[in-house]
Chains A and B, each alone.
Chain A
Amino acid sequence: MKAIEVKGLGKKTVNGEYILKNVNLEVNSGEFISIVGPQANGKSTLLRLIAGLETPSEGSIKVLEKEVRGTSPEIGMVFQETVLFPWMKIIDNVTFGPISKGVDKKKAREDALQWLSTLGIDKFAEKWPYELSGGMQRRATIAMIMVNNPSILLCDELLGGLDLVTRSNIADDFLKLMHEKGCTVVYVTHLLEEAVYLSQKVYVMSSLPGTIYDKIDINLPEKRWEVPNLRFSKECAHYVETVRSKFEEAFTKSPHEVEA
C-alpha cells in the first residue's frame, strides 16, 4: 500500500513565486525515506503540506489513499526546533495528544510513562522542559508524537543542533523504534550521512523552486543498530558519496534544466 502519494505538487508564496514545483513522491507503507537538499529550498514546506498544515497551490497529496484535508491523527510531525510546551511538565506534554483525542487521563498517563521509559527519560516526567538538556528534550518530543500511535511520521531535522554522541544515540533508538512499530517515516535533513544511515531511500531535492531531483536506494542491513560501526563502514561512505554527487548536481543545475 502507498502511505504517501504526492503528484504534480506546487506551492506558491503570496507573491506568486514557486517554492515547490512539480513534486512527485511515493512512499510505501513502513518505508523510511529521507529528503536532502540545500537550506531553504522548500523541504519543510513539503512536510507541512503533507501534514495538512498548509494547502497546495497545484497537484494533489494523498495519505493512506485519501486526499489530505487538514491535520489527521494518522500523521505525526516533529518540527525543526524542539517544540515542547514549556508551560507543561514533561508528563503533561506527553499526555497532551492522547487526552486531546479523548483517551482517559489515567490510561494516557500510563501510556506516557511507558513511552518515557522506552526512551529512557521516565525519571524526568515531573520536570519542567527547561530543566532538561537538548537531547532529553528531543527524546521527550519523540515520546509526545509516538504516544499518539501515528502510522506516518514526518521529521524536520529531528536531530538538528545536537552533539555527535547524543545524535547517534538517539538515531539508533529512533531507528529501532520505527522498525518495531512499522511506521512510515519521511525524514528531512541537510546532513547526508544521517540520511544514508537512517533510510531505505534518499530523495535529493533541488534548489528553489524545490523539486525532486533524484532518488537513491540504500541497501544496508535492516537492523542497522545491530551492526557495529556501520556508520563508519565503506558501504555507508560509498552511499554518502553517491548522494553527495547527486546533491552537487542538483545544486549547480538551474531549476530550468531540472524541469526539462
Chain B
Amino acid sequence: MRLTKSEAVIALAGLLIWPFLILLNVTLPDAANRPNQPKEVFNSIIMIFTLILLSYLVFGILLKKQPKARVITVMNAALVFGVFFFLWLVVVGKIGKLNTHSFPSPNTVFDVFYSDFYFLTYKSSRDSIFRAFAGYFLALITGIPGGIWFGRTMRRFEVAYPLAKVTAHVPPVVYLPYAIAVFPSISHAIIFMVYIGAFWPIFINTLFGVYNVDRRYIEFAKILGASEKRILRRIIIPSAMPTILAGCLIGLVLAFVLLTAGEMVGAHTGLGFYLMYHTDIGYFDKVVAAILLISFWVFFWITFGFDMVQARLLRWMRRI
C-alpha cells in the first residue's frame, strides 16, 4: 500500500505526538501554582494508547489488513486529539495561568481514574452501562416492531406520526419524578427514562422507513409469489434498514443523554451521579475525569458496537 507524502506525514505525526506528550510531561517543570503533579497515570495511559496506535498502524499499513482511507482517518483523529491534549498539558499543567479550582491539569485528572478506580472507573461505569443498555435494548425490541406495525398501512401511519412527533419532543426528564414514584428503585426509573429517550427516534425512523418502502419492491416480490410474511421479513425490513439504523444511532446517543441526565438529577450511583456529586462539593478534577470517562464510553460503544453492526447490516450499500 502506497501512501502519498501528506498521508505519511499525518500518519507519523498522529503516532509520534503521543510519545512526545510523555516526553514533555517528564522534562518540562510543573507550573508554579500546581507543583508535583502525579504524572504516572497520565503517562501510562498515553503510553498504552501509543502502543495501540502503533500496532494498528503496523496491522493496517504494513500487513494491509485495513483500507488505507480508514487508517489515515484514524491517524488523523489521533493527531487532532493529540494536539488537544498537548494544549491542555502545556497551557494548564505547565504554564498554569488558569485557576486550579475549575481547570485541573491532565495529570491530576487522569490520576483520578487510578486513585478512585473502584468508585469511578469500575463501579460507576458498570452501573451506568448496565442502565444504558437495559433501556436501549427495551427500546429496540419495542420501537422496531411498533414502528413496523404502525408503518404498514397509511391509516395507522397518519395517526401514529403526529402523535409520535409531539410526544418525542417532550423531554423524558420530566417523567423522572413519576418514574421514581412508580418503579421500585431509582435504577429502574432511570432505565425507564433511557427507554423513553431511545424509543422515539427508533420508533419514528422505523415508522418512516417502513411506510416509505418503494412499492415496486413489494409488487415485484408479490409477482415472484412471496407471502405477506416473507415480504415483511425479506423486503420491507431490509429496505427500511438504513432508516431504522439511523434512528437506532440517534436513539443510542439519546440513551446516553437521558442516562446521564437521570443520574445527575436522581440517582445515587453511576457516572452521572458521580459527576453531579463532585460538582456540588467542588472537586473539578473528578468532574472532568467523569466527563472524559462518559465521553470515552459513548465513543467506544458507538464505534465498536454500533458502527460494526451497521457496517455488517448495510454491506449491500455502496459506500459514499
User: Is B230 touching A100 in the complex (CB atoms < 8 A)?
Assistant: yes
B308 vs chain A, min Cβ distance (A): 18
Q: Which residues of chain A have C-beta atoms less than 8 A from B316's C-beta?
A: 86-89, 128-130
From A76, A85, A89, give the contact of B223 (CB < 8 A): A76
User: Is A100 touching B224 in the complex (CB atoms < 8 A)?
Assistant: yes
Q: Which residues of chain A have C-beta atoms less than 8 A from B235's C-beta?
A: 85
Q: Which residues of chain B have C-beta atoms less than 8 A from A239's C-beta?
A: none
Mask: chain A, 42-56; 1 = CB below 8 Å from B; 0 = not: 000000100101000
Nearest chain B residue, comparing its CB with the CB of A144: B224
A72 vs chain B, min Cβ distance (A): 9
Question: Cα distance A93–B241 when bound, in Å?
Answer: 18
Nearest chain A residue, comparing its CB with the CB of B242: A87
Given contacts A87-B239, A128-B316, A130-B316, contact A73 B220 (CB under 8 A): no
User: Is A79 touching B315 in the complex (CB atoms < 8 A)?
Assistant: no
User: Is A83 touching B224 in the complex (CB atoms < 8 A)?
Assistant: no
From B224, B238, B241, B318, give the contact of A97 (CB < 8 A): B224
Residues from 299 to 320 in B contacting A, C-beta threshold 8 Å: 315-318
Pick the most buried of B221, B225, B317: most chain A CB atoms within 10 A of its CB: B225
User: Is B220 touching A148 in the complex (CB atoms < 8 A)?
Assistant: no
CB of A197 within 8 A of chain B? no
Q: Which residues of chain A have C-beta atoms less than 8 A from B230's C-beta?
A: 100
Question: Cα distance A48–B220 when bound, in Å?
Answer: 11
Given contacts A81-B216, A87-B316, A128-B315, contact A96 B221 (CB under 8 A): yes
Nearest chain A residue, comparing its CB with the CB of B314: A87
A146 vs chain B, min Cβ distance (A): 11
Question: Cα distance A101–B230 when bound, in Å?
Answer: 11
Mask: chain B, 222-250; 1 = CB below 8 Å from A; 0 = not: 11111100100011001101000000000
From B225, B238, B239, give the contact of A100 (CB < 8 A): B225
Q: Which residues of chain B have C-beta atoms less than 8 A from A97's C-beta?
A: 224-226
B183 vs chain A, min Cβ distance (A): 40
Q: Which residues of chain B have C-beta atoms less than 8 A from A100's C-beta?
A: 221, 224-227, 230
User: Is A79 touching B216 in the complex (CB atoms < 8 A)?
Assistant: yes
Q: Which residues of chain A have C-beta atoms less than 8 A from B223's C-beta?
A: 51, 53, 71, 75-77, 145
User: Is B238 touching A85 in the complex (CB atoms < 8 A)?
Assistant: yes
Question: Cα distance A130–B315 when bound, in Å?
Answer: 11
Q: Which residues of chain B have C-beta atoms less than 8 A from A87's C-beta?
A: 238-239, 241, 316
Question: Cα distance A88–B234 when bound, in Å?
Answer: 9
Residues from 155 to 169 in A contacting B, C-beta threshold 8 Å: none
Question: Cα distance A79–B221 when bound, in Å?
Answer: 12
Nearest chain B residue, comparing its CB with the CB of A86: B316
Nearest chain B residue, comparing its CB with the CB of A83: B220
CB of B158 within 8 A of chain A? no
Pick the most buried of B219, B223, B226, B230: most chain A CB atoms within 10 A of its CB: B223
User: Is A71 touching B239 in the complex (CB atoms < 8 A)?
Assistant: no
A15 vs chain B, min Cβ distance (A): 18
CB of B81 within 8 A of chain A? no
Residues from 101 to 124 in A contacting B, C-beta threshold 8 Å: 101
User: Is B226 touching A79 in the complex (CB atoms < 8 A)?
Assistant: no
A103 vs chain B, min Cβ distance (A): 10
User: Is B220 touching A79 in the complex (CB atoms < 8 A)?
Assistant: yes
CB of B217 within 8 A of chain A? yes
User: Is B216 touching A85 in the complex (CB atoms < 8 A)?
Assistant: no
Pick the most buried of B221, B227, B315, B316: most chain A CB atoms within 10 A of its CB: B316
User: Is A96 touching B234 in the complex (CB atoms < 8 A)?
Assistant: yes
Question: Cα distance A88–B221 when bound, in Å?
Answer: 13
Mask: chain A, 213-236; 1 = CB below 8 Å from B; 0 = not: 000000000000000000000000
Nearest chain B residue, comparing its CB with the CB of A70: B222
User: Is A53 touching B222 in the complex (CB atoms < 8 A)?
Assistant: yes
Question: Cα distance A51–B226 when bound, in Å?
Answer: 14
Mask: chain B, 163-206; 1 = CB below 8 Å from A; 0 = not: 00000000000000000000000000000000000000000000
Q: Which residues of chain A have C-beta atoms less than 8 A from B222's C-beta?
A: 53, 71
From A53, A89, A96, give the contact of B219 (CB < 8 A): A53
From B220, B225, B315, give the contact of A101 (CB < 8 A): B225
User: Is A73 touching B225 in the complex (CB atoms < 8 A)?
Assistant: yes
A204 vs chain B, min Cβ distance (A): 26
Chain B residues close to A by CB (< 8 Å): 216-217, 219-227, 230, 234-235, 238-239, 241, 315-318
Query: Would you list 20 pairs from A and B whose C-beta atoms are within 8 A, ordered by A residue?
Result: A53-B222, A71-B223, A71-B225, A76-B223, A79-B216, A79-B219, A79-B220, A83-B217, A83-B220, A85-B217, A85-B234, A86-B316, A88-B234, A88-B238, A89-B316, A100-B224, A100-B227, A128-B316, A129-B316, A130-B318
Closest 6 CB pairs of A and B: A97-B224, A87-B238, A100-B226, A87-B316, A83-B220, A100-B225
- Excluding A79-B219, A89-B316, 11 further A-B contacts by CB distance (< 8 Å) are A73-B225, A75-B223, A77-B220, A83-B220, A87-B239, A88-B234, A96-B226, A97-B226, A100-B226, A100-B227, A144-B224
